[in-house]
Amino acid sequence: MTANKSDVRLSVQQLRKVYGVGSRNEVEAVRSLTFDLHAGEFACLVGPSGSGKTTLLKCIAGLLEPTSGEVVLDGRRVAGPAEGMAVVFQEYSRSLFPWLSVEDNVELPLKTSGVPKAERKERVSEALEAVSLSHATKSYPWQLSGGMQQRVAIARAVASNPSVLLMDEPFAAVDAQTRGELEDLVRDVWKRLNMTILFVTHDIDESVYLAERVLVLSSSPTIIQADLHIDLPDVRSQADTRSLHRFGELRHQVYEEVQFAKINPGGERTAAREELRS
Amino acid sequence: MIVLKRIGMWFGLPAILIAIWWATTAQGVNFFVPKPDKMASTFAKVWYSEKFFTDVLPSIGRLSISLLISLVLGVVLGIAIGLSRNLRWLLEPLLEFVRAVPSTILIPVLLLLIGINDTMKVAVIVLGCLWPILLNTVEGVRSLDEVLKNTARVYGLRGFDRIRYLVLPGASPLIMAGIRHSLAVGLILLVVSEMFASTDGIGYSIINFQNRVAIPEMWSGIVLLGIIGVLLSVAFQAIQKRVLGWYYGLKEASNDG
Amino acid sequence: METQTPTLSSVAVSTLPTREHRVRRAARWTAVGPYVLGVAGILAALIVWELYSVFGPVSQHHLPPPSVVLPTFFTNLTFTQFWMTMGQTMWAWFLGLGIATLGGVAVGLLIGSSEFLRSATHTSIEFLRPIPAVGMIPLAALLFGPRIGAELMIVVYGCFWIIMIQVLYGITDIDKVANDTVHTMRMTWLQRVRHLVLPTLLPYLMTGIRIAATVALILAISSELIVGTPGIGRAVAQAQLNDNPPAMIALILTSGVLGILVNLIFRFIERKVLFWHTSVRSEVAA
């Protein structure tokens, strides 16, 4: 992490989140989290289930107030949902407005932030084209399949032209084949539009396939347990990339970290392990 | 053939009922129930006259104005109460009490306070119709989907935009349910307030016919109320179908999945 | 909004105590807020009423302040006559609701059991149902005079439709899939009614009865006001004729308490009977 300070898009500093402060059953969900995300980076956060992934993402998105520490986006401290941050949620059917058509859903954030009408139309149709949904603009979300609904959510996020795109297990609820297509779609959008993406998932294969960088979270209370660079070729495809030898190695490495994470709440044993390794 | 069958289904039973009615009253033995033909001619004679302007229109006017006031007040207050936790805590016990008061009992008090005029009737109807709309709006605002609310926050929907694009449409299924309930209550209150204290209106006419023991005329008033009830419910359903088209589609889609 | 990134230590030291303090205070408020504000709301309403009655544009005689009404309300509770009046209204309410429920369920089950009956009765029901029960008041007055029969006729007519329609909704809702499942399980007719029809029907029926219960109270009081059948409605009308506003308003407060009791009883029954069925709760705010 020696990169130029100016090219840091998102900076998370000593983030801590405790639920039920002041009550008898305080729960420490996130202990201390620090990482930077650079412009154009595609990073995955992986962790075992119950590792506070969603809590973390909500804190970053400004939907939850951290107990201490802070999130900085483009040099501005995040207090409440920030402009320049877009989120794609896992529950696609609940995150789209069922009373608006596909194009109105994509257009709404632009409309309320005061983008002029002509530009709005252009950006909406561009975004819908990027996710290959130009044919279904007038449909209602609930008339579409799950995968298509999630594409609408992605288009909406892309259209608002965010500094950082957060994705919270976006493909956890779609079937395996659709999932592969959507993964390629996200990588395609990321490259074409030169976006910065933070992608949360519990799926190890997915994280390795998608990202340039994988951050492994410990189980709750969460810390970052490992920060791995994924040195796979830039052009990836479901069939070829996944059968690369290097893919297997990386997956193995992430897998071991995740296994270890399960028995390592709060990173207490990380230091001990480092010693063992050396 | 199918059309024939359907017509049979629609008009079969009513036809049989009317036939029975005719047969049992043909001798004219029952003092309280007029013959169907007598009834039809009375209906035309009574209401297809200037009574339409002096009694029917005022009633409909009172009902419409009251419903409109209840709707606006109910939705505006309901959204405010639904969105603010402290406001809800402040008003909940009070509202619980006020809406539990059976609204017809207020008529004598409002009569004293306001007098026998249109304002009194509108006040009575509003005091009855407001609560179903208000409480359903509160409920609708509170039951907005958590993910949808988060989405709206992330994309910067604030203030009036938030109400217009998130809160109102999201609460609309429950608001419509409240309105349907209000329609029924409103008609009851209109008629009772006119029966209790009025110089015109459908309710006044019916009670007036009863006092003059004009039985067929009284029945024609009851039938007129039925027709107004049917028209209201048809109009409401047409509006509901437009407003909640997305909601029915969504429900159907999630039932299939 | 800060535009520059503070150093780590300053963040931890400066924001932690105040933030935590605020969170703690919010948690405490969540626990006591509803009670504090609820009581405050009622007190504020009483004060506004008192002030409006004394200084407002209406005559204090017509709208007596709570300092006059509340004593009347409480002394009422010591009179046998008062309790008899209440009893008359509640008896008519209970009887009317009971008859309407029995009738509504019986007819609803009969019509709902056959596709033919359902479509054949559709138009008749759609016409008869919207006739407001209060339209029948003059007829009831002619038929029964100022006796409980008149009140019952109106209450039963008004509530019968509500309950019957809910039963019909419930029957249409009995899930086709569930129906098949139960058939393959080779249940007898009785078992099917017991394990499928009743559980599906019950939430609808409870909704119907709850809505009917409030409508029944409105109708009972309407008929007491206009026909003069004995009960609170007549007592209020008499108080108006006797020019006794404090008694009138005390009775109205009583009717509110009755209404709340009715609501509480039904909420309690519903929780007991429908504990397994949470999804209906939001659906039936209608």
**pLDDT by position in tens, chain C (length 286):** 334 444 444 444 444 556 677 777 777 777 787 888 888 989 999 999 888 888 888 788 888 888 888 988 888 888 888 889 999 999 999 999 999 999 999 999 888 877 788 888 888 887 788 788 888 888 898 888 888 899 999 999 999 999 998 888 888 777 655 666 666 666 677 777 777 777 888 888 888 898 898 889 989 999 998 898 999 999 999 998 888 888 889 999 988 988 888 888 888 888 877 766 554 443 333 3
Task: Kindly determine whether residue C256 and residue B178, on different chains, have CB atoms separated by under 8 Å.
Answer: no
Residues 6+ apart with CB under 8 A from B70: B125, B126, B129, B130, B133, B182, B186
Amino acid at A122: E
DSSP assignment letter at C4: S
DSSP assignment letter at A144: S
| CB neighbours of residue B23 within 10 Å | 9
Residues 6+ apart with CB under 8 A from B147: A89, A91, A94, A95
What is the rounded average pLDDT of the residues A38-52? 85
- Look at residue B129 in the predicted model and tell me its pLDDT: 92
Is residue A109 within 8 A of residue B155, CB to CB? The reply is yes
- Look at residue B80 in the predicted model and tell me its pLDDT: 94
Is residue C204 within 8 A of residue C166, CB to CB? The reply is yes
Going by C-alpha positions, the residue among C135, C284, C286, C282 that lies closest to residue B181 is: C286
What is the rounded average pLDDT of the residues B155-164? 89
Residue B6 or residue C250, greater confidence:
C250
Find chain B residues with C-beta within 8 A of C141's C-beta.
210
- Look at residue A272 in the predicted model and tell me its pLDDT: 53
B33 → chain C, closest CA residue: C139
**Nearest-CA distance C227 → chain B (Å):** 10
* Dihedrals phi, psi of A65, to nearest 5 degrees: -90, 125
Rounded to two decimals, the pTM is: 0.84
Is residue C121 within 8 A of residue C111, CB to CB? The reply is yes
| CB neighbours of residue C165 within 10 Å | 16
Q: Is the ipTM of this complex over 0.90?
A: no
What is the rounded average pLDDT of the residues B231-240? 91
**Nearest-CA distance B167 → chain C (Å):** 17
The answer to whether residue A14 neighbours chain C at the CB level (below 8 Å) is: yes
Find chain C residues with C-beta within 8 A of A20's C-beta.
27
Residues 6+ apart with CB under 8 A from B202: B55, B56, B59, B190, B191, B194, B221, B224, B225, B228
> Pairing mode, if any, of strands A222-229 and A27-38?
parallel
DSSP assignment letter at A42: E
The answer to whether residue A120 neighbours chain B at the CB level (below 8 Å) is: no
Going by C-alpha positions, the residue among B183, B176, B174 that lies closest to residue B64 is: B183
Per-residue pLDDT tens for B26-76? 776 667 778 777 888 888 888 888 888 888 899 999 999 999 999 999 999
Q: Return d(Cα A62, Cα C137) in angstroms, integer.
A: 60
* Dihedrals phi, psi of B72, to nearest 5 degrees: -65, -50
Residue B235 pLDDT class (50, 70, 90 cuts):
very high
What is the rounded average pLDDT of the residues A241-249? 86
HSE toward the beta carbon, residue C178, CA cutoff 13 A:
13
HSE toward the beta carbon, residue A256, CA cutoff 13 A:
7
Find chain C residues with C-beta within 8 A of B212's C-beta.
none
**Nearest-CA distance A155 → chain B (Å):** 13
Nearest to C4 among A20, A23, A75 (CB): A75
Q: How many CB pairs under 8 A join B and C?
A: 196
DSSP assignment letter at A171: T
DSSP assignment letter at A172: T
Buried b / exposed e along A223-248 (16+ C-beta atoms within 10 A): bbbbebebebeeebeeeeebeeeebe
Alpha helices in A198-244 (DSSP H): 204-210, 238-241
Per-residue pLDDT tens for A192-207? 888 899 999 888 888 9
* Alpha carbon distances (Å) from B208 to B196, B216, B217, C142: 11, 12, 10, 12
Check whether the bond before B93 is cis (ω within 30° of 0).
Answer: no
- Look at residue B25 in the predicted model and tell me its pLDDT: 74
Q: Return d(Cα B42, Cα B36) in angstroms, integer.
A: 10
DSSP assignment letter at A266: G
Is residue C223 within 8 A of residue B95, CB to CB? The reply is no
Residue C20 or residue B194, greater confidence:
B194
Q: What is the DSSP string of B56-121?
A: IHHHHHHHHHHHHHHHHHHHHHHHHHHH-HHHHHHHHHHHHHHHHS-GGGGHHHHHHHH-SSHHHH
The answer to whether residue A50 neighbours chain C at the CB level (below 8 Å) is: no
Residue A99 pLDDT class (50, 70, 90 cuts):
very high
Q: Return d(Cα B130, Cα B180) in angstroms, integer.
A: 12
What is the rounded average pLDDT of the residues A89-107? 90
- Look at residue C4 in the predicted model and tell me its pLDDT: 43
The mean predicted confidence, pLDDT, of chain A is 85
Amino acid at B122: V
- Look at residue A176 in the predicted model and tell me its pLDDT: 85
Tell how far CA C173 is from the center of its chain.
24
Task: Kindly determine whether residue C285 and residue B113, on different chains, have CB atoms separated by under 8 Å.
Answer: no
Find chain A residues with C-beta within 8 A of B160's C-beta.
none
Tell which A residues from 78 to 107 touch C, by Cβ distance under 8 Å: 79
**Nearest-CA distance C280 → chain A (Å):** 20
Instruction: Please tell me whether residue B213 adopts helix, strand or coil conformation.
Output: coil
- Look at residue B76 in the predicted model and tell me its pLDDT: 96
Instruction: Please tell me whether residue A270 adopts helix, strand or coil conformation.
Output: helix
